[in-house]
Amino acid sequence: MKQKKTGKKKHNGKRESRKQMLLKLMEDKQYVPMKEKELAVLLQVSRKDRDELSDILNELVSEGRIEISKRGKYSLKEDKRDKDEGADELPGVIVGTFDKAKTHYGFVVPDDRKMTRDIFIPVERSMGAMDGHKVVVELTDPGSSIKSPEGRIIEILGHVNDPGVDVLSIVKGYGLPVEFPEKVMKQAERVPDEVLKDDMRSRLDLRDIKMVTIDSEEAKDLDDAVSLYMDGDKYVLGVHIADVTHYVREDSALDKEALKRGTSVYLADRVIPMLPHRLSNGICSLNGGVDRLTLSCIMTFDRAGNLLDHKIAESVIRTDARMTYTAVNGIIEEHDESLMEEYKDLVPMFLLMDELAGILREKRRKRGAIDFDLKESKIVIGEDGRPVDIMSRERNSATRLIEDFMLAANETVAEHFFDEAVPFVYRVHENPDPEKIRKLEGFVCNRGISLKVKNDRVKPVEIRRLLEKIKGTPGEAVISSLALRSMQRAGYSTECSGHFGLACKYYCHFTSPIRRYPDLQVHRIIKEVLSGKFKASREEHYEKILPGVAKRSSSRERLAQEAERETDKLKKAQFMQDHIGEIFEGVISGVTDWGIYVELENTVEGLVHISKLEGDYFYYNEDACELVGERTGKKYVLGQQVYVCVSGVDMAIRAVDFDLA
């Protein structure tokens, strides 16, 4: 197989290597079931090696590792993709592009590349859709091996080239709810615009305490405020969170819809909120100079960052200013004179906040908490819906400060209610995958960097030490990314099993009830405990419902993350369409049997196919994560800096293709 010779002398070893290569290809999230000939073309298999490819595919099928459909397409056994006979394999709602073939019918080409069959649409079920319309289809007949699936159009999203239709197609494809039901909106309309006097009774009145919100410039749902003052030589930190549960009662239409959504979804050009704007941007947003109901976690720390005391209470606050990360960073890092003059009454508190945040951060660092300081992309969208710029979103002292305070509150609340022994929803993060840790250990070891692993387990402090060793080196971004990929996915649970990444035993999400349902649920339990209403019947109630809440919240979070990633991929691909032929500097961010992935400074990632690596036969050295030229010994290694030319963009799969420059 050209470009795939492993250089191994033993036939069995070579055979197994090629099997693994095929399996990895099929595991790739962009893989679409293919026929043998299509695989041969993709993998650049020479004609003389086609028989061997056929034999390997047959062996993998007989071993039960892959399967072949009636149409001769290969996929992983567990994927269950491309089933001709399985109508139930296709989802009921499908998003795609309408192709008007004849006067009496048309077809919808699904956006989901895993769905390899177009959907037949009779003219009477087309809603008058025209060529190029993005549509939502409901299946009426799943079809068979000799008949196309059939459906009816239930919604026309707009033309494929209309601004915003591309992202809306992703939204619909992921089944994300956009509009709120009428019953929910009517309930939201009944929520008052201002805090009522009766609602403030028996609450801790903190309106005279100096406090601010600190968020991004574009944020409108301000759900956390912070305060800080000294009591002798002790820091008194207040984290004050919007009391959303006061307006979203259990089992109400608002509550059911919030649970259904699970989280707000932040896409490149829009936000799909968990709660209607009347709440999220109105009465529940901690806007400056107005009374707001909150839950406060007030923590007292000594000079070493040790928690000496804490109080959790229902409260009422009035923030002094709506601050941005940019402004606060300008004060504490740049000592900007104009900003310091504008906010002169608040500057001493900001400087004190920076001091305490540093102490808390160092305390977490010493216990082994991992800080993945990875680049995030910021995509600027123009009026026509197309991206006009993509840049790396940098963290600064102000963003870290807020992170430090929110982490402190989340840990404090989690430990408090664990000690109360009441049913609760925790944020948990399991130990890393042993196999991935072994690969990470081998990769860094080959570069002369030690990682202490014992019995396939690693302590958080060892990952943290690794990140410190590589900081500022050319391989920092890649090794950080590999370390991150070795981590398990965090989620929600009723069991307090700890958080590996934060190296802590107790952790929950308490600080964002406007945009995350678990925080809302946690607030509800806290308030019942604080008010003395938490009886045996309520304990039974929560023990019954919380496992489902945790499971649904975890799955909705994953769905939102996938939609966000897919939208970013779409916009990055659109952006690079305008830069075909241009040369960029990047770093090799992934190495596979079929080529190298290169990430640019603006976070766009693309593939240099192995067929474009001229002048040698390259084989994949998995242990070292590198492609090696068999004759020349030339290597392409993770972390290596390269120059690439943008050679093309495939919008169907939102992929960018590079050539080495």
Instruction: Count the Cβ atoms, other than its own, within 10 Å of residue 231.
Output: 8
Query: CA torsion, points 13, 15, 20, 22, in degrees to nearest 10?
Result: 160
Helix (H) or strand (E) holding 591: strand 583-592
CA 483 → CA 373, 384, 440, 444, 463, distances in Å? Answer: 12, 38, 7, 10, 7
Is residue 70 very low, low, confident or very high in pLDDT (cuts 50, 70, 90)?
Answer: low
The pLDDT score that the predictor gives to residue 642 is: 93
Output the six-digit token pair for 478.
């890649």
Per-residue pLDDT, averaged over 281-293, amounts to: 96
pLDDT digits (tens, 9 = 90+) for 162-176: 989 999 999 999 999
| CA neighbours closer than 13 Å in the CB half-sphere of residue 540 | 3
In the block, residue with structure tokens 């489902």: 548
Is residue 97 very low, low, confident or very high in pLDDT (cuts 50, 70, 90)?
Answer: very high
State which amino acid sits at residue 621. N
CA quadruple 370, 373, 375, 376: dihedral positive or negative?
positive
Confirm if 486 and 217 have CB atoms less than 8 A apart: no
Is the pLDDT at 238 greater than 60, yes or no?
yes
State which amino acid sits at residue 231. D
Rounded to whole angstroms, how far apart are CA atoms 318 and 316?
Answer: 7
Rounded to whole angstroms, how far apart are CA atoms 169 and 173?
Answer: 6
Q: Tell me what the pLDDT averaged over the chain comes to.
A: 88
What single-letter DSSP state applies at residue 431? Answer: P
Is residue 569 very low, low, confident or very high in pLDDT (cuts 50, 70, 90)?
Answer: very high
What single-letter DSSP state applies at residue 210? Answer: -
Confirm if 118 and 107 have CB atoms less than 8 A apart: yes
pLDDT digits (tens, 9 = 90+) for 514-566: 999 999 999 999 999 999 999 999 999 999 999 999 999 999 999 999 999 99
Rounded to whole angstroms, how far apart are CA atoms 250 and 255?
Answer: 6
Per-residue pLDDT, averaged over 626-645, amounts to: 89
Rounded to whole angstroms, how far apart are CA atoms 99 and 120?
Answer: 10
In the block, residue with structure tokens 């975890």: 554
Output the six-digit token pair for 293.
């109901």
pTM value is: 0.83
Rounded to whole angstroms, how far apart are CA atoms 481 and 533?
Answer: 47
CA 171 → CA 75, 153, 164, 175, 617, distances in Å? Answer: 27, 17, 11, 6, 43
Show the domains of the chain with their CATH numbers.
Answer: 11-79 (1.10.10.10), 88-162 (2.40.50.700), 182-430+492-569 (no CATH), 434-487 (no CATH), 579-660 (2.40.50.140)
Q: At what angle do helices 517-531 and 536-577 cross, to 10 degrees?
A: 160
CA quadruple 567, 568, 569, 570: dihedral positive or negative?
positive
pLDDT digits (tens, 9 = 90+) for 110-129: 887 767 788 999 989 999 89
Which residues on neighbouring strands pair with residue 110, listed in sequence order? Answer: 96
In the block, residue with structure tokens 């991206």: 387
What single-letter DSSP state applies at residue 36? Answer: H
pLDDT digits (tens, 9 = 90+) for 490-525: 999 999 999 999 999 999 999 999 999 999 999 999
In the block, residue with structure tokens 């009779």: 122
10 Å CB burial of residue 506 (0-12, 13-18, 19+) is: buried
Is residue 5 very low, low, confident or very high in pLDDT (cuts 50, 70, 90)?
Answer: very low
